[in-house]
Structure 1
Amino acid sequence: MAGRKRALPKLVAAGQDEAAAPRRQNRVNLVELAYERIEDLIVNCELKPGRFLAIQDLQEMTGFSRTPVHQAVTRLANDTLILVRPRHGVQIAPIDLARERMLLQLRRDLERFVIRLAAEKSSPTYRNQLLHVARVLRERRDGMTAGEFNVLDRRIDRLILTAAAEPFLEHTMRPLHTIFRRIGWIHHTHIKGDANVHTTIDCHLAILDAVANRHVAQAMTASDALIDFVDSMFDTMEREVDPSLLDCSLEPLIPNPRKDT
């Protein structure tokens, strides 16, 4: 209409966008660091399956402020590793062996796809990194704990996903890897006679060697062997693991006797 002036766009001072970018990047980094820290606590069962807690508890445990912890919890809830309980805070997802064994079949198919892509597409740089991790595993195999292995296992998963060069896969595979990393930790630390991680390491070495040498068929066979080994854990866990290790909110079957007063 006549007489109405069109609003002019605001001028942005030179360098303003550049100054804002590091702050945005820092926020992203803090969220990722908070996510990784909480993920570690879940995998190693320092945050026991079934445990209820508040966001403030997670802040104190991780040392991060409310915003990155809250965003990390949102991601972990999307990953089904944390359950949001309105008016009760959050709960670390209990372990449902039947559900996780079913998800293992999904992981089998996806893992074969990722391993095949990595073996076909990995660059010399990534192949060199895979061989380096393999050397570390071989050198430390006899004395490695489940917790130490999990640190390297996360790195292996990231290297293979990056070598596969399909970003969509990371968002799908990461929570699956975390779920079974926790299963492996419980199996290796609470099943009598299975305290060492030798078989787990050997399965991963077969994958690393095949991918690094671009032997596609061997890599997929090694991937299936790893999933078969993980699947074998479930039968033992169903028989031998105390249910309270899978869900600490369960009441003990044998309560502590009360002392007479």
Structure 2
Amino acid sequence: MNEEYSLAEVAYKRLEEDIVTLKLQPGEALTETRLSQTLNMGRTPIREAVQRLSWEGLVSIRPRLGMVISELNPGDYTRVMDARHPLEVLLATSAARLASRTERDRLHDCTSAMRDAAAAKDMLAFMRMDKTFDEIIGRASCNPFAAKAVAPLQTLSRRFWFRYMGESDLTAAAACHLDLMQAIGKGDEQATRAMAEELMRYMRRQAVSLIAEVSFSS
């Protein structure tokens, strides 16, 4: 059971990254056989991973037709941010109060890696560190319910960012994460709340500008 669970987790992480980074394109059809061959795994962990991706809105499961990678609708980005915003503020503020020294140090290292990735314009490395950053805060908050609720929204946000923002805003995004990390590191709940609010407002501005750009071009 433990081995199957770990394989399902590996399959999930690999497929999630391929979807976020558009290696698997929106609208692309998949089969369990193809995924089993690609990931070199049996169908049971593949099926568990796909069910999780479906719950998160990244994959649609269609009877007799297989799996299809969900489309990207720019208009959904603001809705994702509306739902994500309060949860992120809650988690960050809790992390400032409850994070261990090890978790604060890991956030520091993660943010440094994000800055390096931004400077190198390495989008994939930045996305991986962004996910790690979110996971550390989720654990440090000691609120698994909020962390589980926000995780799909974080993934959807990264997918939108990778598709539409690209390398252009990595430096600014890294700076916002740095400010948040420093506030959490000091255990300053008030400053953490302010920095988390600012990071979410920054991302929502990106979402709004995306919608305006798409509307103008159409």
Give the TM-score of the pair, scaled to structure 1: 0.77
1:1-261 pair list within 5 angstroms: 24-189=1-166, 195-240=168-213
RMSD: 2.0
Shift of 1:96: 2.4
- Aligned counterparts of 1:102 and 1:180: Cα–Cα separation in 2: 10
Aligned equivalent of 1:16: none
Aligned equivalent of 1:12: none
Percent of aligned positions with the same letter in both sequences? 26
Assess, with a 3 A threshold, how the Cα gap between structure 1 residues 140 and 82 changes in structure 2: closer, same or farther. closer
The 3-state SS of whatever aligns with 2:60 is: strand
Q: Which runs of 5+ in 2 are unaligned?
A: none
- Aligned counterparts of 1:102 and 1:68: Cα–Cα separation in 2: 31
Residues 150 and 181 of structure 1 are in contact (CA less than 8 Å); yes or no, is this contact kept in structure 2?
Answer: yes
The 3-state SS of whatever aligns with 1:97 is: coil
Assess, with a 3 A threshold, how the Cα gap between structure 1 residues 228 and 154 changes in structure 2: closer, same or farther. same
Shift of 1:233: 2.2
Moved more, 230-239 or 220-229: 230-239
Larger helix share, 1 or 2: 2
Residues 96 and 192 of structure 2 are in contact (CA less than 8 Å); yes or no, is this contact kept in structure 1?
Answer: yes
Cα displacement string for residues 122-169 of structure 1 (whole angstroms, at most 9, x for unaligned residues): 111211211222333344541132211011111111111110012222
Question: In terms of Rg, which structure is larger?
Answer: 1
Assess, with a 3 A threshold, how the Cα gap between structure 1 residues 91 and 227 changes in structure 2: closer, same or farther. same
Residues 89 and 196 of structure 2 are in contact (CA less than 8 Å); yes or no, is this contact kept in structure 1?
Answer: yes
Shift of 1:187: 2.2
Query: Across the two proteins, how many residue pairs are aligned to each other?
Result: 216
